[in-house]
Structures are given as structure tokens and as C-alpha cells.
């Protein structure tokens, strides 16, 4: 898995025999140059097809290295691995125009690893009229649902998404808006850091009420699901338009943390009435300040990490794509039309045999 945060590659070795169990894991950060290349590819510029193809190969080299390292560490031979589920790196998410584009070269990855690769998970759902995102709710429903307790799973990636798992009734889910993406961008621009470690910068500041109100006025937050978003929408330009530059940098950092927390809180209040337990996953779980704010925004609901449900928060997304790959190989559907808005459930992904 390599998500919107552009932090790097999460590789998980997953046994899907019974419950999904993570046997081992490996994280490879993106080299600075690759991150810059990928960021630049988020916008239309000269010769982008060529640059995108090269970036896809470089990504696949990194994916292959992550797989090699993980298998060596675990003492597992490639022949015993059924498949790699490879999400790729999103550079444009435009379901409204009929596509979502993930870079990565699955043929290259299959050739380098000698393992079957399943990739391009989003296109089929979009072709069927869906958002192509989020795709993890089907996994959350299969492994985290409880027949007595109303649970909600919240993934704090670059973009945050939630899955509503009522004890009975249908599963829903959508992107709530920014997770870490603005926190990271502001920390980089004002403090020269890749991210706000532990949320220490935000904890030093105080949220600016008027700025927060202005940011929360974005129509995306009011839109009813199905909905999905990306860096295309929530970026520094979006933030600058709200006049963030007029305030103290640490106060803006605190406001952005509050924005993530409030938008999640409001989404749960509106779309998950009666929720009893919220479980968090994704890199944002390491942001102690953010987690405190989320817990405050969810007063009365118990908040914990997915570790309590048996999967460490760092590896939930990667595990979900291993499961989606397995679904594809078995020709079983991986999407939930009630989440993505597609005409029906579809088998997701393209298969590149070993
Ligand atoms: N120690 C930490 N303190 C605060 N934030 C962190 C920490 N570790 C990771 N993060 C945040 O998590 C992000 C990565 O989360 P991840 O779940 O991989 O998101 P994505 O799926 O978008 O790549 C980082 O960009 C950063 O914002
Ligand atoms: Mg990541």
C-alpha cells in the first residue's frame, strides 16, 4: 500500500487462511526525489506521460524491494506467496471524469518478484458508476464487524475515511476529508518537517475559531455520501485561500488538527447515529494530539485503535489490499455498491500472473 500521504510503501505479509493475520511487515520511505516527482505529477505539466511511466517503474522497484526485504526477514520463499495486492500511487482521483489514476507498473513488479500481482483496484468500480473509493470498507465489514456492537472504523491516512458497521443493517463508508495531508503540508512549509511528530507542533498552538469555521464551510463536508476526495481538492492552495497565512503557524497547525477531528466527529454524528465504538487506524494514530482531539469530538463514544480488533493500525490498509487481491483471484467481488455508489458489486483489479 502507498497512500495519499506519499510517505512510502507499507508491505504486509498476510495469512488469510482464517482471520486476517499479519505475519510480518516492512515500511520503505519514499526517497525525497521520488516524493517530489510524484507530487509534481499531481498537476498537469510538460511531458507528464513519460514522467508518469518512469515514476511507475521506480515505484515498482521500490515495491519489489519492500517485498524482497519482507520475505527475507520472515524466511518465506516467493513461491509460497499467492499474490501481491498492489494499490499503486494515486496521482489523480477524478471519478467525476470517469477515472482514478494509480501509478506503478504491475508487470514490472511481477517480473521482479516472480509473484502474481493484482493491481488497478479502482477502475472497475468507477466504470460501474461508483466513486472507486473508499475500497477498504468491504474488508472492515468482513473482519471488524460485530453482531452486537455498532462500530465505526476510521482510517487516518492522508485523506481520512470511515466505515460504518452497524450491528444490523447495511454497511456504509466514505472519505470524511483531510486526515494528515494538510497537517503534513503545513508542517513542511512552516516548520521544515515531513510531519508533525506526535502532534507536538499542533499541541503548542490554539485553534483559530474563525479559520476553522471557514475551512469547515467547504461544501465537501456537507455533501451526502457516496463521496471520495484526494489531494486534488485538499491541498495548500485550498488552505491558503482561507487566509491561513495571517495566523501564527502553530495555531494553524492546531486548527488543521481540529479540522480533521471535527470533520470526523460531524461525519459520525450525521452518518453513523448510535455508534458505540470507534476504532482508528493509519499513520495518524501516532499523532497523539490528533487522537485526543478526535476523542473529544466523539464524546460518549469509546475510541481505541484497531490493535484491539487484532490488526495493528499501521497495517490495516495493506492487509485490506492483500484481501482484495485474494478476492480478485477467486473472482469474488471486492466493492460495496452502497459505499461507492456503483451499479453493483464488482470483481476489482487486474491480474498479472507470476
Ligand atoms: N509519529 C507520528 N506522529 C504524527 N504523525 C505521524 C507519525 N507517524 C506517521 N504519521 C502520519 O501518518 C502519515 C502516514 O500515514 P498512512 O496511514 O501511511 O497514510 P497514507 O495511507 O495516506 O499513506 C504521515 O504522513 C504522517 O502524517
Ligand atoms: Mg502511507
Task: Give the whole-angstrom CA distance, residue 286 versus residue 274.
Answer: 27
What tens digit of pLDDT does each residue of 170-226 get? 999 999 999 999 999 999 999 999 999 999 999 999 999 999 999 999 999 999 999
CATH of 8-131+343-352, one of 3.30.420.40, 3.30.70.20, 3.40.50.1970, 3.40.50.920: 3.30.420.40
Comparing CA positions, the residue from 187, 156, 157 lying closest to residue 294 is 156
pLDDT at 18: 86
Comparing CA positions, the residue from 128, 136, 74 lying closest to residue 98 is 128
Please name the residue that has the C-alpha cell 473472482.
Answer: 331
Within the chain, which residue ranges are assigned CATH 3.30.420.40? Answer: 8-131+343-352, 137-313
Confirm if 317 and 281 have CB atoms less than 8 A apart.
Answer: yes
Mean pLDDT of the residues in the chain: 97
Please name the residue that has the C-alpha cell 465489514.
Answer: 141
C-alpha 75 to ligand 1 mean position (Å): 28
Q: Report how far apart, in Å, the C-alpha atoms of 73 and of each of 24, 25, 60, 167 are.
A: 8, 9, 20, 39
Domain 137-313: give its CATH architecture: 2-Layer Sandwich (3.30)
C-alpha 188 to ligand 1 mean position (Å): 13
C-alpha 209 to ligand 2 mean position (Å): 30
What tens digit of pLDDT does each residue of 87-110 get? 999 999 999 999 999 999 999 999
C-alpha 187 to ligand 1 mean position (Å): 12
Q: Which residues pair with 93 in a beta bridge?
A: 100
Comparing CA positions, the residue from 13, 47, 42, 40 lying closest to residue 27 is 13
Residue owning the nearest CA to atom 5 of ligand 1: 287
Question: Measuring from each residue's beta carbon to the nearest atom of ligand 1, which residues come in under 6 Å?
Answer: 3-5, 7, 157-158, 180, 183-184, 195-199, 282-284, 286-287, 317
What tens digit of pLDDT does each residue of 298-352 get? 999 999 999 999 999 999 999 999 999 999 999 999 999 999 999 999 999 999 9
Residue owning the nearest CA to atom 15 of ligand 1: 283
- pLDDT band (50, 70, 90) for residue 79: very high
Closest ligand 1 atom to 314 CA:
17
Amino acid at each position: 500500500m502507498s497512500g495519499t500521504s506519499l510517505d512510502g510503501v507499507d508491505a504486509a505479509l498476510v495469512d488469510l487462511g482464517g482471520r486476517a493475520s499479519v505475519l510480518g511487515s516492512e515500511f520503505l520511505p519514499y526517497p525525497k526525489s521520488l516524493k517530489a516527482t510524484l507530487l509534481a505529477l499531481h498537476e498537469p505539466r510538460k511531458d507528464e506521460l513519460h514522467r508518469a511511466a518512469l515514476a511507475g517503474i521506480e515505484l515498482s522497484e521500490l515495491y519489489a524491494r519492500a517485498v524482497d526485504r519482507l520475505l527475507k526477514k520472515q524466511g518465506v520463499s516467493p513461491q509460497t506467496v499467492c499474490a501481491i495486492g498492489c494499490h499503486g500511487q494515486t496521482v489523480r482521483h477524478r471519478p467525476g471524469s470517469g477515472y482514478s489514476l494509480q501509478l506503478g507498473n504491475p508487470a514490472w513488479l511481477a517480473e521482479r518478484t516472480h509473484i502474481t500481482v493484482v493491481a488497478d483496484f479502482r477502475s472497475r468500480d468507477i466504470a460501474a458508476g461508483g466513486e472507486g473509493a473508499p475500497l477498504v470498507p468491504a474488508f472492515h465489514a468482513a473482519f471488524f464487524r460485530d453482531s452486537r456492537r455498532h462500530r465505526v472504523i476510521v482510517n487516518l491516512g492522508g485523506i481520512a475515511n470511515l466505515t460504518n458497521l452497524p450491528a444490523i443493517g447495511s454497511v456504509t463508508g466514505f472519505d470524511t476529508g483531510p486526515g494528515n495531508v494538510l497537517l503534513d503540508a503545513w508542517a513542511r512549509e512552516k516548520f521544515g518537517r515531513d510531519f508533525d511528530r506526535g502532534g507536538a507542533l499542533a499541541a503548542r498552538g490554539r485553534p483559530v475559531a474563525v479559520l476553522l469555521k471557514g475551512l469547515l464551510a467547504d461544501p465537501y463536508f456537507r455533501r451526502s455520501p457516496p463521496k471520495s476526495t484526494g489531494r486534488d481538492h485538499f491541498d495548500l492552495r485550498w488552505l491558503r485561500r482561507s487566509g491561513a497565512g495571517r495566523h501564527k503557524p502553530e495555531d494553524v497547525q492546531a486548527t488543521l488538527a481540529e479540522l480533521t477531528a471535527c470533520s470526523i466527529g460531524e461525519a459520525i454524528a450525521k452518518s453513523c447515529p448510535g455508534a458505540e465504538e470507534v476504532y482508528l487506524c493509519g499513520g495518524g494514530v501516532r499523532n497523539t494530539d490528533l487522537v485526543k482531539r478526535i476523542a473529544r469530538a466523539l464524546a460518549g463514544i469509546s475510541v481505541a485503535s484497531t490493535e484491539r480488533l487484532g490488526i495493528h493500525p499501521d497495517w490495516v490498509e495493506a492487509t485490506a489490499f492483500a484481501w482484495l487481491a485474494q478476492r480478485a483471484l477467486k473472482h469474488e467481488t471486492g466493492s460495496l455498491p452502497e459505499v461507492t455508489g456503483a451499479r453493483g458489486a464488482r470483481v476489482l483489479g487486474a491480474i498479472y500472473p507470476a
